[in-house]
Chains A and B, each alone.
Chain A
Amino acid sequence: MASAKVFVLRTCDGETFEIDESVAYVSETIKNMIEDGFGHDLIPLPNVSSKILLKVIEYCRKHVSNFESSKKTSNGDEKDKDNDSWKKEKEAVPEVEKDAEEKARVEELKEWETTFIDIDQQVLFDLLQAANYLNIKGLLVMAAEKAASMIRGKTPEQIRETFNIKNDFTPEEYEDIRKKDAMNDFTPEEYEEIRKKIADNHFTPEEYEQIRKENAWAIE
């Protein structure tokens, strides 16, 4: 009755989580830390909160159990059987399922993924950071796809609203500011406001012009 190896992770807010070795190894970062000998005590994750780590562990556990059941239902060969020499490597599940069981497994996974990633942009932001730091490719791609789905079809202004990204200056505003600045016409409060705004990401007038051109059609 061998017991699977267990590791303990500690988040930035001091909570600890126990996970199996197979689950831990889903994260390349944690895997490397363990292989480098840091697995005996707590593995500290100073960049990850407990709320997010819970989500991450949920993903890793699902990933492991899904892999186990896929080995049983499919023929074990999950590679794309298509020998079309142009197909580049894809991350997708093979399209033609041979078994009803395999088909059901894939369906269930899709449903699970949809529910799992149905999160607001704040949690999504943290999840992206965590997946990147912990080097969990599948989770990163899933979260990135969710972000992309919130971007597709939107105007730049709508995208900024969705993600709370600060608005840019128009070239006129910027020109105005430069002029005023040269004449030192600002009150200290105004100046503070402007310095804060400048610290956020804004475009130079040249960039702005270029963006305008890219986003317009000259029609004949």
Chain B
Amino acid sequence: MTDWSQLPRDVVEVIARRLTTYFDALRFRAVCSSWRSAVSQSPHRLPCHFPIVPNEGFVETTCGFYLSKRTIYRLGLPEDRISTCIGSSEASDGWLIKVEEDVPDMMHLLNPLTETQIKPLPSMFPKVLDLSDLRISELGQDYVLQYINYRPFVNSFVDAGSLYMEKVAFFSSNSSLSASSPADDNDKFALLTIHVSGKLAMFKSGDEKWTIIEDQRSPYDDVICFKGKFYAVDSMGRIVIVEPSATVTLIASHESHVFGGDKKYLVESEGDLLLVDLYLSMDTGDDSPFENMDIDDDFYERIESYIVEKTVRFKVYKLYEGRQNWVELQSLGDRLLFLGDNCSFSASACDFPGCKGNRIYFTDAFNCSNGEDDYGFKDVGVFNLDDGCIGPLASYPGYSKLFWPPPSWIADPSAGTNALPD
């Protein structure tokens, strides 16, 4: 009779080292005493707050940054509980959330795509969410730099206002180790972000200031850390790899050098690097409002309210290793892409019953606010690659439920457990 709790300690340690996510390591420690003692350190979390980073070469009023890490999770009930929750249509639902840990031991829930904090929480929402009975998969992490602007007479940095947030790609030499081994001082990290000038800026552990990378390209649109390397894409669709030495190597571009849409995103999906091209159109809100208008002095002031930049479609391309060009993908299959303000990630539609794959969730200003504060979801849209339909999340009720409201089992994750007598 095999007794896994009796496995020799060094073998248990080898197994534990294969678990790289925070939650897997945590759960490992909760199985039994001998497994817990083999993984003796508390699972290591990457630091969320970096020392104030010097800002020479950056905007004058900025006196530093702090790095904020957010993680996107899919929460769900484990399979055996789904089958016992007969009659509950929400049992197999997945809930997609983003959490940021600002104060230690206190999580903030964020809208996964916009920067809105989900606050205030509804009154019936549990103050403490017990995760031990839930399946948790990590879908991605995103990092933002929060600029700290100096204001005299303000004592705390955090208080000084952090209005400007910039996405960063983050690399840590510790991320290749298991979550169950602690950080040490030899861990190196690097950040890559897009400077206001459109150029790339890099900061590595041990640097005194940011390095602005001078290369003669179009302004950059997005950065990503993919399989341990930094990639960046410019507005012409040229993709480069950025080495720690700050050298930039072109690895792929579009065949025609004038490339399509208005904004490029890089996102990882199932181990592949995808480029998503967003097309905007200058659209007038109503039908031909110009026809009956007087071109008077006020016209040019009012013009902004008539012309609205709207997202009209997306094209998706895949980067194949060894090939110089992007190849257009006609379909994402079961995959869903999420393109947020400062993050991008992907998921599988089968994790979210009610959602079909081959869709892109994105942020846009839809101007269809009905005055309710809905945690920023009014600014989320869905694009269907099947037929090119696009619209705000509100038009697709089945697609918004993966975000909000949370499934009913959140209120009590351990409810419905089959307590059969032995």
Contact = CB atoms under 8 A, between A and B. Distances in A.
Contacts of B80: 158
Interface string A50-85: 000000000000000000000000000000000011
Contacts of B257: none
A219 B27 contact: no
B135 A217 contact: no
A141 B14 contact: yes
Interface in A205-220: 207, 211-212, 214-220
B285 interface: no
Contacts of B108: 219-220
A156 B47 CA distance: 26
A121 B2 contact: yes
Nearest to B1: A164
A201 B37 CA distance: 11
Contacts of B135: 153-155
A217 B132 contact: no
A39 B210 CA distance: 61
B419 interface: no
A141 B21 CA distance: 18
A202 interface: yes
Interface residues of B, number: 60
Interface stretch (A7-15, A18-26, A123-131, A182-190): A123-131
B407 interface: no
A136 B259 CA distance: 53
Interface residues of A, number: 50
Given A151-B24, A216-B132, A218-B105, A203 B33 contact: yes
A166 B26 CA distance: 18
Nearest to B321: A96
A212 B414 CA distance: 13
A156 B176 CA distance: 24
Interface string A105-130: 00000000000000001100110110
Given A126-B2, A132-B10, A220-B108, A153 B130 contact: no
B8 A144 contact: no
B7 A151 contact: no
Contacts of B258: none
B27 A217 contact: no
B125 interface: yes
Given A87-B228, A211-B29, A219-B107, A122 B11 contact: no
Contact of A165 (B26, B29, B32, B134): B32
A120 to B, nearest CB: 10
Contacts of A212: 130, 132
Contacts of A155: 27, 78, 132-135
Contacts, number: 155
B107 A215 contact: no
A217 B11 contact: no
Contacts of B18: 141, 144-145, 147-148
Contacts of A152: 19, 21, 24
B32 A160 contact: yes
B31 A122 contact: no
Contacts of B21: 152
A122 to B, nearest CB: 5
A147 B134 CA distance: 20
Contact of A216 (B128, B177, B321): B128
Interface string B229-251: 00000000000000110000000
A156 B31 contact: yes
A156 B27 contact: yes
Nearest to A162: B4
B4 A164 contact: yes
B27 A168 contact: no
A200 B106 contact: no
Nearest to A211: B30
Contacts of A160: 31-32
A125 B33 contact: no
B2 A122 contact: yes
A125 B2 contact: yes
Given A96-B321, A160-B31, A219 B121 contact: yes
A11 B133 CA distance: 43
A192 interface: no
A163 interface: yes
B117 to A, nearest CB: 9
A34 interface: no
Interface of B: 2-5, 7-8, 10-11, 14-15, 17-19, 21, 24, 26-34, 36, 42, 78, 80, 99, 103, 105-109, 119, 121, 125-137, 171, 173, 176-177, 188, 228, 243-244, 321-322
Given A153-B136, A215-B131, A216-B128, 20 more contacts: A84-B244, A88-B177, A90-B176, A95-B321, A128-B7, A129-B8, A132-B14, A144-B11, A153-B24, A155-B135, A156-B30, A158-B80, A163-B4, A200-B5, A201-B5, A211-B29, A216-B130, A216-B131, A219-B107, A220-B103
Ranked nearest first, the 9 interchain pairs of A and B with the lowest CB-CB distance are A148-B18, A201-B33, A163-B4, A215-B132, A156-B30, A201-B32, A125-B2, A144-B14, A144-B15
16 contacts: A86-B244, A95-B321, A128-B11, A129-B7, A144-B14, A157-B133, A203-B32, A207-B36, A215-B130, A216-B128, A216-B129, A216-B132, A217-B99, A217-B129, A218-B107, A219-B129
Interface of A: 84-88, 90, 95-96, 121-122, 125-126, 128-129, 132, 140-141, 144-145, 147-148, 151-160, 163-166, 168, 200-203, 207, 211-212, 214-220
